[in-house]
Amino acid sequence: MADDRFDLSQHPVIGDGPVAKAYRAFLTWLNDERRLSPHTVSAYSRDVEDFLTFLTRHLGAPPELSDLADLRQLDFRSWLARLSEGGGQDISRARKLSSIRTFFRYLRKRGLVENDRLNLVRAPKIPHSVPKPLSVPDAELLIESAGDFETEEWVAKRNVALMTLLYGCGLRIAEALSLNEGQAPEGDAMRVLGKGNKERFVPVLPVVRDAIAAYLRESPFAGDPDGPLFRGVRGGRMNQDSARKPIRMLRAALGLPDTATPHALRHSFATHLLAGGGDLRAIQELLGHASLSTTQRYTEVDTARLMAEYARAHPRAKG
């Protein structure tokens, strides 16, 4: 099977100094440990390279690790201003800022650079007029970045696992957080206890199983089948406020709409299935809705596609 990871040998070389080595180690970490998609790792590589290129001009020489530690808010704002002068859109600048924050968090965790001034730089404010379900790229970006603001690796993997479960299986946030470790999916389906103690079985994609398994391998609290699957930092059952917090932070950092919430991932699950040709009644069963009208409110499909399906399928449309 072909390797679908990002090809680290193909990214441009930016030198052999400590910063360049840290940059390449960062990409390796994204690629091999975070297991991000090649597209996402490529975006990180471009953003960090552009930032280091700016610093070379800004400082008059390629930056050292000590230069990164000494950067002021003004320096970071100058970089954002330069992006704006180049015609960069706010959403693009917000994404680039998120990439640089992730790079600096990596450097801090490795004990290479400590600089909290970047956290004081506000991301460009993005006006949004989008529907409640997320787009497929936004949903993927939200999941891949769910652990970016965490300093502990197991917490980062927990966030990714939770968001992957919500989007991959269409669970309510309360349903996901009520799961115990012994209910972690191991096969192609899992049992979920929904509203009114109504039980349903939902298919489980390999990516969901893998994300949860990766989180449990890192969790210091794993090993109790009767204990909560998703735990807070102190070991108790994770609450909904803790689940919403990383998404609130990511909305600002990534320029995602205000409607990007844990519940929006369930909504997006239904909408994307229907848009891909899924059967509405099957989606109703997957979501655990008592009535089809509730499922219809959860799904939004392009009107032109619906009209085309109507014209194709209705018996009187051909007459």
Q: Do 187 and 282 fall into the same domain?
A: yes
Assign residue 3 a region (left: φ > 0; alpha: ψ between -120 and 50; beta: otherwise).
beta
Q: Is 23 one of the annotated active-site residues of the chain?
A: no
Determine, yes or no, domain membership for 187.
yes
The reply to whether 289 belongs to the active site is yes
Q: Is 190 found in the same domain as 80?
A: no
The radius of gyration of the chain from alpha carbons, rounded to an integer in Å, stands at 22
**What residue type is assigned to position 138 of the chain?**
D
Residue 70 class from Cβ within 10 Å (0-12 exposed, 13-18 middle, 19+ buried)?
middle
* 222 vs 285, residue with greater confidence: 222
172 is catalytic: yes
Catalytic residue, from 195, 217, 245, 297: name it. Answer: 195
Q: Are residues 58 and 175 in the same domain?
A: no
Q: What is the pLDDT of residue 319?
A: 47
Same-domain check for residues 204 and 283: yes
Mean pLDDT of the chain: 78
The pLDDT of residue 130 is: 37
pLDDT at 99: 87
- Based on the fold, state whether residues 276 and 143 are members of the same structural domain: yes
Q: Classify residue 243: in a domain, yes or no.
A: yes
Catalytic-labelled residue, pool 172, 237, 244, 248: 172
Write down the catalytic residue from 95, 105, 209, 289.
289
Mean pLDDT of 218-240: 93
The residue from 44, 106, 167, 298 that is catalytic is: 298
Instruction: Tell me what the mean pLDDT of segment 43-48 comes to.
Output: 89
Query: Are both 183 and 275 inside the same structural domain?
Result: yes
Told to judge if 167 belongs to the known catalytic residues of this protein, a careful annotator would answer no
Other C-beta atoms closer than 10 Å to the C-beta of 312 total 9
- Whether 298 is a known active-site residue: answer yes
- Give the closest residue to 49 by CA, choosing from 81, 15, 18: 15
Range of the domain at 265: 136-303
Look up the CATH number of the domain holding residue 50.
1.10.150.130
Instruction: Tell me the C-alpha distance between 232 and 221, whole Å.
Output: 10
Task: Quickly state the pLDDT bin for 128 (edges 50, 70, 90).
Answer: very low
Helix residue ranges, H only, the chain: 18-28, 38-59, 65-70, 73-85, 90-109, 136-144, 153-169, 173-177, 206-218, 240-254, 262-275, 280-287, 292-298, 303-313
Check whether residue 28 and residue 154 sit in a common domain: no
Catalytic residue among 35, 46, 132, 263: 263
Q: What is the CATH number of the domain that holds 258?
A: 1.10.443.10
pLDDT at 148 over 90: no
40 within some domain: yes
Type of residue numbered 310: Y
Residue 209 included in any domain: yes
Residues 157 and 284 in one domain: yes
83 and 164 in a common domain: no
In terms of pLDDT, which residue wins out, 291 or 146?
Answer: 146
Active site residue 195: yes
Count of structural domains within the chain: 2
Instruction: Pick the more confident residue, 233 or 127.
Output: 233
- What are 158-183's pLDDT values in tens digits? 999 998 888 877 788 888 899 999 99
| pLDDT tens per residue across span 238-270 | 998 888 888 887 776 776 767 777 777 776 766
Q: Which of 96, 266, 267, 272 is catalytic?
A: 266
Together in a domain, 188 and 162: yes
Does one domain contain both 168 and 261?
yes
Residue 244: predicted pLDDT = 84
